[in-house]
């Protein structure tokens, strides 16, 4: 069986996990603490980043974009109307644009700094960079949430799904990031009703169930995290 090296608070890892489940494929999950810089993991991915997908032939694919493209080319093309990348080139480009937005821009602005300060530092030693959260980084990331939620509101309010008429990689990428922020209680849902409705649709899908039951050691999610009708 293929193996996916991941971390539960990595939005890129969650994105690939959702794709695999939506396409009906299983992979053994190995939680990787990238800050430990394990030699065996670095042999798979010298960049030391997640996720890393190792297929049945022990070939390693590194990074959410590379893995998602591979899964589309090997599995998605067989799924017809369940394909997560559109057949039309322009529509496919829009899906890629939004996927990049959530996996890179939102990751840099919001998801990664909050996950690092509130989660990863709790699991790191002092030598690895662990310790108390940096309040300045937290303030900046929390301020950035508002702009990303405004953009999500516009997308979810003007389209059936974020990139068009059917669910795509764009929705899974956005939901992966949002789910981490929701776990941490960083979203004020009273100010984001349109995004909440969109997220409830994603959250209710079978592919989301493993994420909703997962817990991070030493950090309990907000009470509504696993509630489909929050």
CATH number for position 9:
3.40.30.10
Residues 112, 60, single domain; the answer is: no
Structural domain that includes position 10: 3-82
Task: Write out the H or E segment, with its range, that includes residue 29.
Answer: strand 28-31
pLDDT in tens, the chain (230 residues): 999 999 999 999 999 999 999 999 999 999 999 999 999 999 999 999 999 999 999 999 999 999 999 999 999 988 888 999 999 999 999 999 999 999 999 999 999 999 999 999 999 999 999 999 999 999 999 999 999 999 999 999 999 999 999 999 999 999 999 999 999 999 999 999 999 999 999 999 999 999 999 999 889 999 999 999 88
Q: Does the bond joining 69 to the residue before it have cis omega, within 30 degrees of 0?
A: no
**Number of structural domains the chain divides into:** 2
Terminus-to-terminus CA distance in the chain, angstroms?
36
Residues 96, 190, single domain; the answer is: yes
Give the residue ranges of DSSP H helices in the chain.
11-22, 39-44, 64-74, 89-100, 106, 112-115, 121-123, 135-158, 169-183, 193-203, 209-213
Residue 49 forms part of a structural domain? yes
Residues 146, 107, single domain; the answer is: yes
Residues 101, 199, single domain; the answer is: yes
The model scores a pTM over 0.85: yes
Residue 74 forms part of a structural domain? yes
Residue 34 forms part of a structural domain? yes
C-alpha 179/C-alpha 80 separation (Å) is 27
Residues 123, 93, single domain; the answer is: yes
Beta carbons of 59 and 34 less than 8 angstroms apart: no
Residue 110 forms part of a structural domain? yes
Give the domain CATH number at 123: 1.20.1050.10
Residues 75, 95, single domain; the answer is: no
């Amino acid at each position: 069986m293929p193996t996916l090296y991941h971390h539960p608070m990595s939005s890129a890892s969650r994105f690939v996990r959702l794709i695999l489940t939506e396409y009906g494929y299983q992979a053994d999950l190995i939680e990787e603490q990238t800050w430990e810089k394990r030699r065996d993991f670095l042999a798979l991915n010298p960049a030391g980043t997640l996720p890393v997908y190792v297929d049945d032939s022990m070939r390693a694919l590194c990074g959410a974009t590379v893995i998602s493209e591979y899964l589309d080319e090997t599995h998605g093309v067989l799924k017809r109307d369940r394909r997560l990348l559109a057949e039309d080139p322009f529509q496919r480009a829009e899906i890629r644009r939004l996927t990049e937005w959530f996996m890179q821009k939102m990751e840099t602005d919001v998801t990664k700094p909050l996950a690092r300060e509130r989660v990863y530092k709790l699991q790191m030693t002092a030598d690895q960079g662990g310790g108390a959260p940096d309040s300045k980084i937290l303030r900046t990331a929390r301020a950035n949430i508002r702009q990303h939620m405004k953009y999500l509101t516009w997308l979810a309010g003007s389209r059936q799904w974020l990139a068009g008429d059917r669910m795509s990689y764009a929705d899974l990428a956005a939901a992966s990031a949002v789910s981490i922020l929701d776990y941490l209680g960083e979203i004020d849902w009273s100010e984001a009703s349109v995004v909440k409705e969109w997220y409830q649709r994603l959250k209710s899908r079978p592919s989301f169930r493993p994420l909703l039951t997962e817990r991070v050691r030493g950090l309990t999610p907000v009470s509504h995290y696993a509630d489909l009708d929050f």
